[in-house]
Amino acid sequence: MTMKLKTLGGAAFAAVASAGLASADVCDTPSKLGDLGSFEGEVITIAGSMLGTDEEFLTNTASCFEKATGAKIQYSGSRDFAALIVADLRSNNAPNIAIFPQPGLAGDMAKEGHLVPLGDDLAKWMAANYGAGQSWVDLGTYSDANGKEDFYGFAFKMDLKSLVWYSPEQFEDNGYDIPSTMEELIALSDQMVADGNTPWCIGIESGNATGWTATDWMEDLMLRTATPETYDRWVSNDLPFNSAEVVNAMNVFGQFSRNDDYVAGGAASVATTSFGDAPKGLFTSPPSCMMHRQASFISGFFPNKGAELANGEADFFYFPPYASADLGNPVLGAGTLWTMTKDSPATRAFFQFMTEASAHEAWMSQGVFLTARKGANLDAYATEALRKQGEILTNATTFRFDASDLMPGAIGAGAFWSEMTAFANGQDAQTTADNIQAAWDAIK
Amino acid sequence: MINKTLSNVVLALIVFIWVVPFVALVTTSLRSETASKTSGFWTAYTPTELGHRFSTHDKGSVENVTLIEGNIFERLNMDKESFRVSGEVQSILFKGRIPDPDNPGKTKLIRKLVPAGEVMDVRGGDFVFQPNGDFTWRFEEASTPKPKKMDVFIDQNPVFGSDAYEQVLLNDKNVPNALISSFIVTIPATIIPITIAAFAAYAFAWMQFPGRDWLFVIVVSLMVVPTQLAFLPVLQGFSGIASWATALNQWLTDCELNDTCQVASKSFAGLWVTHTAFGLPLAIYLLRNYIVGLPKELLQSARIDGASHLQIFTKIIVPLSVPALASFSIFQFLWVWNDLIVALYIGPNNASDLVFPILLQKQLGTFKDQLHLLNASAVISMIVPVIVFLSMQRYFIRGLLAGSVKGG
């Protein structure tokens, strides 16, 4: 029976995928495009790692710039972007624009002097016009070879992590309300336990990357138990991993993940449940859990590959902050950083184009794309779910990038993962934090 | 006897291991999108149970009726020109609400598989279907039901089609573009090194000059230089040449400094040079070993007759070396045709000039859930080397043996 349902799920998804999106004129946006100048015949080369539909959406959006200015945009995407861009930059073959998926590599390239500063005007604009604007500016600010800090990375196209997924049908049947504070969320979880339901599905197994889901939980909880500045110091290890703030956040995570009443299958199952299988518990009958905290991409792992969002079988709410902590609305996420690697007037005009609400709307209308740009018309979002996620982004008061992506590889993609897995298996928080700090000391 | 059987078994096993992926590629490329996505290629040749979704009737086609009749296969095949579904209907997945026995007054959702012949309650009517696809939907009172979409499992007969090939070759210009680019890269990158190598091999084999043996040792030892090591300096070199050429172009044609007179540093020419450089050591080594084994007397008598080196080379060496030249060109052709990494770093990177392996790599991202298209392009890219190999195969074995077994 389960086998059959799976097969059918695939078939249904096939139908959804092949239906595709109606190709209306994406440049016909609610907001009008301002004057960008004329660059007839000039070519702007862009390198990035976006492929497939993302690449299609990118070129469609760029075509609006081509129409407005007469310039031509050449995008080359590769899954080996990180290796290729380093070779291109070091051998003077820079494209005009390089789109970095993570800030780490962009910072390295800035230090080698391969990036052109975008200027204070753009930084000021971003601080004023993006939700949690200053956070985005900080994310794109790196120091060059001389240690001078400049704004290099323009954030465009974002992902959201601080989401809790649930089944509206179940919430309605049980009479549960969407919590707006962490206190309410914990009260709701306890209520669910009292009702004989299991509140959470948590799974952190992911092959040789096992543990990353737990690091996302940790990061979200750090932002809810400590100030953003503390978070930044934690990321750079100015604040040691085994300090009280970090251990506290880990213990809060433990209140969820190591509570047999809270977790479907019991706390022992957390480390052995695949992150992709965990959300499926929301949709079994009877449901094995009521809520699942995971990034926006997870809907693709639902039994019907995300069709649940459209037909109302699944929904999400913002992973709320503590009302008592007064830390605003922190949001954890990711975003691609567009950097200028070869200066030209047309390239500068393209960055100007990316500040226009119209450019954001053009991409929003095509599919999976989130933006923190205030003033972009939310009606342009292709689906209601994207619109809701977009609202969370623009209403964020603090935005922070995934810490494990910012930490050195040996920590962020090593000790942090493996030690959090050990923590899920019962190792105590202080030992876990001490071990990660020891691993960090070892690479200094 | 046992030895022979054993070697035959081992040989058969090796052939099997090599052929299975190819069969999988070809099979998948000929299947429908749904089938390739939901079941393995080995199920393509026998009736297989697959899920489909059909709607009972067209909107507005019925009004105030007590009976709707139809055929599931007809409904499924309505807009299909290829991959028409046929076979035997196994079951329908029934989803609906029934009164909940545990909570009076509430309903609960049930999902169950209903077999052929069993009546199910759909929108107040009795729905029954037969294995051949005929279904009836009866209502006690005349009503106008909305079309109902149902998930149905069908034990489906094998069906193949060439849609994937039509799509990648005719609808998507990337594949034809990549084929042309690959030829543009591969043909010169095969001919140039083999020409240079033939001259060099002759010199190393039959001409006397100081330091000949040392030079040969150096050339041979260059074979161990890994390609990856050289990307950065090679790219830097090309970028230097390109900026010099741009300046020259500007001076000659008086064009303004914009992209019209910009000479690209990543180009097909760069690929030719790089492939030539990395192909030469092996080429010289192979050809020299072959040429050195040609009968000495032949060359001596030619020299006595007054032939120059060039005449000896063109009139005697080249015709006699055809097997070695052919076998090396197969080597080089296959290597360049299948090369991904050199093209990725050195080659042009605008969308219309990508070579086939890069296109395939990109399609892995795009078509990861459209396996039939990915496999169709993969088969297309395989056809060319297979043709080249088969047409030159008889030289290949002779040429390979030539260097190693020197009988006299």
Q: Which of B106, B111, B259 sits opposite A42 (nearest CB)?
A: B259
Tokens encoding B239: 């970028």
Asked if B34 lies within 8 A of A14 by C-beta distance, the reply is yes
Q: What are B30-59's pLDDT values in tens digits?
A: 988 777 777 788 888 888 887 788 888 887
Residues of chain A contacting B106 with CB distance shorter than 8 Å? 173
Report the residue of chain A nearest B340, measured CA to CA.
A80
A15: which chain B residues are within 8 Å (Cβ-Cβ)?
A: 34, 53
Nearest-Cα distance to chain B for A44, in Å, is 9
CATH architecture of A29-160+331-396: 3-Layer(aba) Sandwich (3.40)
Identify which of A158, A157, A103, A138 has the alpha carbon closest to the alpha carbon of residue A359. Answer: A157
Of B404 and A442, which is predicted with more confidence? A442
Q: How confident is the model at residue A256 (pLDDT cuts 50, 70, 90)?
A: very high
User: ipTM above 0.85?
Assistant: no
Q: Which residues pair with A356 in a beta bridge?
A: none
- pLDDT at residue A24 in the model: 52
B52 and A11 within 8 Å at the Cβ level: the answer is yes
Closest Cα of chain A to B110: distance in Å? 9
Q: Quick one: pLDDT at residue B274?
A: 94
Mean pLDDT computed over A66-89:
89
Question: At a CB cut-off of 8 Å and minimum separation 6, what does A377 contact?
Answer: A29, A30, A31, A357, A361
Neighbours of A381 (CB within 10 A): 22
pLDDT surpassing 80 at residue A126: yes
**A215-224, B76-85, B247-256, B317-326 — most confident range:** A215-224
| A84–B344 CB contact, under 8 Å | yes
Measured CA to CA, the distance from residue A284 to residue A270 in angstroms comes to 18
Residues of A within 8 A of B93 (CB-CB) are 4-5, 8
- Residues B380 and B175: beta-carbon distance below 8 Å: yes
B115: phi then psi, degrees, rounded to nearest 5: -80, 170
Q: What is the number of residues in chain B? A: 408
Measured between beta carbons, the chain A residues lying within 8 angstroms of B372 are none
Q: Please indicate if any CB of chain B lies within 8 Å of the CB of A15.
A: yes
Mutate to test the interface with B, among A1, A3, A5, A8 (most CBs of B within 10 A): A8
Mean pLDDT calculated for residue range B391-395: 79
Residues of B in contact with A47 (CB under 8 A): 349
Q: Which residues contact B219 (CB under 8 A, 6 or more apart)?
A: B200, B204, B280, B281, B284, B285
Amino acid at A330: P
A326: phi then psi, degrees, rounded to nearest 5: 55, 55
Whether a cis peptide bond, with omega within 30° of 0, leads into A345 is no
pLDDT band at A4 (very low <50, low <70, confident <90, very high): very low
What contacts A148, CB < 8 A, 6 or more positions away?
none
How close does chain A come to B164, measured CA to CA in Å?
13
Phi and psi angles of residue B107, each rounded to the nearest 5 degrees, phi first: -115, 160
Mean predicted confidence (pLDDT) in A146-163:
91
Contact A11 B351 (CB under 8 A): no
Task: Please check the confidence at residue A1 and state whether its pLDDT lies above 60.
Answer: no
Give domain limits for chain B.
Answer: 2-42, 47-157, 165-404
Least CB-CB distance to B235: which of A42, A74, A87? A87
- Nearest Cβ partner for B109 among A4, A12, A285: A285
pLDDT for the residue numbered B84? 85
Is the model's pTM score more than 0.80? no
Check: CB of residue A70 under 8 Å from CB of residue A349: no
Mean of pLDDT values over B263-284: 91
Determine contact, residues A149/A115, Cβ cutoff 8 Å: no
A/B interface, count of CB pairs below 8 Å: 107
Question: For position A18, what pLDDT does the model report?
Answer: 34
> Could A14 and B37 be called an inter-chain contact, meaning their C-beta atoms sit closer than 8 Å?
yes
Nearest chain A CA: its distance from B116 CA (Å): 16
Whether the CA torsion B40, B41, B43, B49 is positive or negative: it is positive
Contacts of A43 in chain B (CB under 8 A): 259
DSSP codes of every residue in B24-52: HHHHHHTS-HHHHHHS-GGGGGS-EEEEE
What confidence score (pLDDT) does residue A251 get? 94
Distance of CA B171 to the CA centre of its chain: 17
A55 touches chain B (CB under 8 A): yes
Contact criterion met (CB < 8 Å) for B51 and A7: yes
* Whether A51 contacts chain B with CB within 8 A: yes
- Select the residue from B33, B34, B156, B274 to test the A interface by mutation, using most A Cβ atoms within 10 A: B34
Out of A8, A18, A84, the one facing B151 most closely (by C-beta) is A8
Spatial neighbors of A134 by CB under 8 A, at least 6 apart, are A127
Which residues, listed in sequence order, are joined to residue B98 by a DSSP beta bridge?
Answer: B108
pLDDT at residue B404, rounded to an integer = 47
- Helices H / strands E in chain B, number of each: 15, 8
Lowest-confidence segment of A416-420, B100-104, B152-156, B370-374 by average pLDDT: B100-104
Other C-beta atoms closer than 10 Å to the C-beta of A265 total 18
CB atoms B239 and A92 under 8 Å:
yes
- Compare all CA atoms of chain B with the CA of A14 and give the residue at the minimum distance: B34
Å between B264 CA and nearest CA of chain A = 9
Mean pLDDT within B103-125? 79
Q: Count CA within 13 A, CB hemisphere, residue B20.
A: 7
**Which pLDDT score is estimated for A10?**
37
Look up tokens 């990856």; give the residue: B228
For the segment A353-407, what is each residue's pLDDT rounded down to a tens digit?
999 999 999 998 887 788 889 888 888 888 888 888 988 888 888 888 888 888 8
Distances (CA, A) of A425 to A40, A258, A263, A419, B37: 62, 8, 13, 10, 36
Does pLDDT of B172 surpass 50?
Answer: yes
- Residue A286: cis peptide before it, omega within 30 degrees of 0: yes
A41–B260 C-beta distance less than 8 A? yes
**Interface mutation target, options B110, B267, B366, B370, chain A, most CBs of A under 10 Å:** B366
Predicted pLDDT of residue A21: 41
Query: Which chain B residues contact residue A90 at CB under 8 A?
Result: 232, 236
The alpha-carbon gap from A109 to the nearest alpha carbon of chain B, in Å, equals: 16
pLDDT beyond 80 at B370: no
Using a CB-CB cut-off of 8 Å, the residues of chain A touching B238 are 91, 93
State the smallest CA–CA distance between residue A390 and chain B in angstroms.
Answer: 25
DSSP-based three-state secondary structure for B7: helix
Q: Say how many C-beta atoms besides its own lie within 10 A of residue A10's C-beta.
A: 17
- Which helix (H) or strand (E) covers residue B110, if one does? strand B107-115
Place A52 in a pLDDT band, splitting at 50, 70 and 90.
confident
Q: Which residues of B touch A75 (CB under 8 A)?
A: 351
Residues of chain A with CATH 3.40.190.10: 29-160+331-396, 173-329+403-442
The distance of A167 to chain B (nearest Cα, Å) reads 14
Instruction: Name the CA dihedral angle for B51, B57, B60, B63, rounded to a multiple of 10 degrees.
Output: -140
Q: What is the mean pLDDT of chain B?
A: 85
CA dihedral A350, A356, A357, A363 (to 10 degrees): -10
Q: Do A12 and B153 touch (CB under 8 A)?
A: no
In this complex, do B235 and A93 lie within 8 Å of one another by their Cβ atoms? yes
Highest average pLDDT, of A17-26, B100-109, B201-210, comes from B201-210
- A87 part of contact set with chain B, CB < 8 Å: yes
As a whole number of angstroms, the distance between CA B309 and CA B307 comes to 7
Cβ–Cβ < 8 Å for B154, B52: yes
Q: In a 3-state reduction of DSSP, which class is residue B72?
A: helix
| Chain A: residue whose CA lies nearest to B265 | A93
Average of per-residue pLDDT across A158-178: 89
Residue A438 CB contacts under 8 Å (≥ 6 apart), including other chains = none
Interface of B with A (CB under 8 A): 33-34, 37-39, 49-53, 93, 106, 109, 111, 113, 151, 153, 231-232, 235-236, 238-240, 243, 258-260, 265-266, 344-345, 349-351, 358, 361-362, 364-370
Q: How far is A230 from chain B (nearest CA, A)?
A: 38
pLDDT in tens, B324-339: 898 889 889 999 999 9
Of B384, B338, B378, nearest to B27 by C-alpha is: B378
At B83, give phi and psi (nearest 5°): 50, 45
Distance CA B45, CA B42 (A): 7
- Least confident range from A32-41, A301-310, A328-337: namely A301-310
Q: Which residues of A touch B360 (CB under 8 A)?
A: none
In this predicted model, which residue has the larger pLDDT, B18 or B98? B18
Instruction: Report the CATH architecture of A173-329+403-442.
Output: 3-Layer(aba) Sandwich (3.40)
Res A14: pLDDT: 35
The answer to which of A332-346, B95-109, B216-230, B300-314 has the lowest mean pLDDT is B95-109
Residue, of B395 and B292, whose pLDDT is higher: B292
Domain B165-404 top-level CATH class = mainly alpha
pLDDT of residue A6 exceeding 70: no
| CB spacing of B33 vs A14 below 8 angstroms | yes
Alpha carbon distance B21, A423 (integer Å)? 43
What phi, psi does B225 have (nearest 5°)? -70, 120
Q: Do B362 and A78 touch (CB under 8 A)?
A: yes
Distance CA B293, CA A179 (A): 86
For A304-321, b where at least 16 C-beta lie within 10 A, e where not — what string?
A: bbbbbbeeebbbbbbbbb
C-alpha span between A193 and A203 (Å, rounded) = 19
Q: Give the strand order in the sheet containing B65-71.
A: B65-71, B134-143, B125-129, B120-122
Residue B2's pLDDT is: 76
Contacts of residue B369 in chain A, CB cutoff 8 Å?
13-14, 17
Q: Is the pLDDT of residue A8 over 60?
A: no
Helices then strands, each counted (H, E), chain A: 19, 11
- Cα–Cα distance, B108 to A104 (Å, whole number): 51
